[in-house]
């Protein structure tokens, strides 16, 4: 039996919206006791006074690039980046090469995950075969092979009949569809948001309508079918309004927003070039404010990074030639804590809820995202007073394509606990099993812990 006691932390339980200073006990990888003063025998003890203890973060939208694009990211490097950011569970998109559109490919990827992943990875399948929008995959067979849901992320299913059938199957089999809302006919050839920046750069813009037209269609289809629709990377004010109205009508819809859409406007492209080129594009200040308000009032449920690594060579190309996408796993919490919480735009509890209990509920993860007896012992410890400057050269991800390079931030993930392993997030990433952590009632502070085994 393994026991780990965390002493004197600031415990944040987003499910009960409760915060207290106290202890937390993990026994055999499960939370056994939360709060108060705990003094079990034969426990490894870590003094975490001054640190936040929260459930491990859950990211509903990442691109791990494997199979087929391992030069950009792998399951091993992507999950190392996730851990560095405090994430203990991620949902991987299916637009790999080849796309994950068959039970055979799904089983192969699940095996790689079992072998290489440092955190929990849930794997999505595509909605249509080959992402070609001609025929839906065999949803039942894909689920049996390990699919956690379905998404055509990177583009929309433009055939309304196929999307109707997918949402109908979602209702019948109770699986989730993550919806990239983009009318390709309206966005074709666009590089940045349609507006001032596009005009200044002399490039074609992407209208807000490209997102909103498909969102309106899919909300109607979800209402008709009772399917489980999750709207990915919401970026416009009108999208927030439509989702708010849909929820009021009882449509089974949830939504996510990214750190970059919450903190940056289209003007970032003028300074950062391709490192601020993503799809959907950065929008106007009014859109950013609407996204924050949607997060505050519950219209938007979760924060997801849309971690999309590319090689430095690809992102060094011109704005026209460089691919869409930015990374976000290692910068998510510090950026949002600095830009939203410290500036009074969002409560710390709401930020943590959007990264933990809310995505856990959407994904049906009953033992994750919570601080309570019986929940999985998957935690992140945060130092809200620690400052750092974001340096892409220190990233665990193969990607360096961040719009936040050089930004001074506060609120740093310091440790992640997953089951019977304790991972320190100070460089280099290290790990020790609970069994190797000697019992002590006077355990040294977090930074002075000695770890016996290097992960990489």
Spatial contact of 88 and 57, defined as CB atoms under 8 Å apart? yes
Spatial contact of 5 and 38, defined as CB atoms under 8 Å apart? yes
Q: What single-letter DSSP state applies at residue 434? A: G
Could you give the 3-state DSSP secondary structure of residue 26?
Answer: strand
| C-beta neighbour count of 321 within 10 angstroms | 10
Residues 6+ apart with CB under 8 A from 9: 21, 22, 23, 24, 48, 49, 51, 52, 53, 381
Cα distance between residue 360 and residue 375, in whole Å: 12
Catalytic residues: 306
Cα distance between residue 197 and residue 268, in whole Å: 9
Residues in the chain: 456
- DSSP3 helix / strand / coil % (the chain, rounded to 5): 35, 25, 40
| C-beta neighbour count of 444 within 10 angstroms | 11
Helix (H) or strand (E) holding 199: helix 196-201
């Amino acid at each position: 039996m393994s026991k780990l006691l965390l002493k004197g932390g600031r415990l944040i339980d987003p499910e009960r919206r409760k915060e207290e200073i106290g202890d937390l006990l993990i026994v055999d990888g499960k939370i056994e006791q939360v709060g108060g003063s705990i003094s079990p025998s034969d426990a490894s003890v870590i003094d975490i006074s001054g640190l936040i203890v929260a459930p491990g973060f859950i990211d509903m939208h990442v691109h791990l690039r494997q199979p087929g694009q391992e030069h950009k990211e792998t399951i091993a490097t992507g999950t190392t980046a996730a851990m560095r950011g405090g994430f203990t569970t991620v949902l991987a998109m299916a637009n790999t090469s080849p796309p994950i559109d068959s039970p055979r490919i799904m089983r192969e990827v699940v095996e790689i995950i079992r072998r290489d992943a440092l955190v929990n990875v849930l794997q999505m399948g595509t909605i249509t075969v080959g992402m070609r929008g001609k025929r839906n995959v065999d949803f039942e067979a894909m689920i049996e092979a390990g699919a956690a849901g379905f998404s055509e992320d990177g583009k929309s299913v433009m055939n309304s009949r196929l999307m109707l059938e997918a949402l109908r199957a979602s209702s019948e089999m109770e699986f989730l569809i993550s919806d990239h809302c983009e009318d390709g006919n309206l966005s074709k050839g666009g590089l940045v948001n349609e507006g001032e920046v596009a005009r200044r750069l002399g490039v074609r813009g992407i209208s807000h309508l490209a997102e909103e037209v498909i969102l309106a269609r899919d909300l109607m289809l979800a209402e008709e079918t009772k399917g489980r629709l999750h709207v990915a990377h919401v970026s416009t004010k009108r999208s927030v309004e439509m989702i708010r109205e849909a929820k009021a009508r009882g449509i089974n819809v949830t939504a996510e927003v990214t750190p970059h859409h919450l903190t940056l406007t289209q003007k970032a492209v003028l300074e950062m070039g391709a490192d601020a080129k993503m799809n959907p594009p950065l929008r106007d200040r009014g859109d950013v404010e609407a996204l924050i308000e949607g997060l505050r009032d519950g219209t938007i449920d979760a924060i997801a990074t849309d971690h999309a690594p590319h090689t430095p060579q690809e992102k060094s190309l011109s704005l026209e030639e460089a691919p869409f996408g930015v990374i976000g796993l290692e910068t998510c919490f510090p950026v949002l804590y600095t830009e939203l919480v410290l500036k009074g735009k969002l409560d710390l509890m709401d930020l943590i809820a959007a990264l933990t209990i809310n995505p856990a509920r959407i994904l049906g993860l009953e033992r994750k995202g919570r601080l309570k007896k019986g929940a999985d012992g998957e935690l992140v410890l945060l130092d809200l007073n620690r400052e750092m400057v974001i340096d892409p050269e220190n990233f665990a991800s193969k990607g360096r394509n961040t719009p936040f390079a050089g930004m001074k931030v506060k609120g740093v993930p310091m440790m992640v606990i997953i089951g019977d392993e304790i991972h320190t997030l100070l460089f280099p990433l290290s790990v020790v099993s609970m069994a190797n952590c000697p019992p002590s009632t006077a355990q040294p502070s977090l930074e002075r812990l000695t770890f016996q085994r290097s992960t990489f």
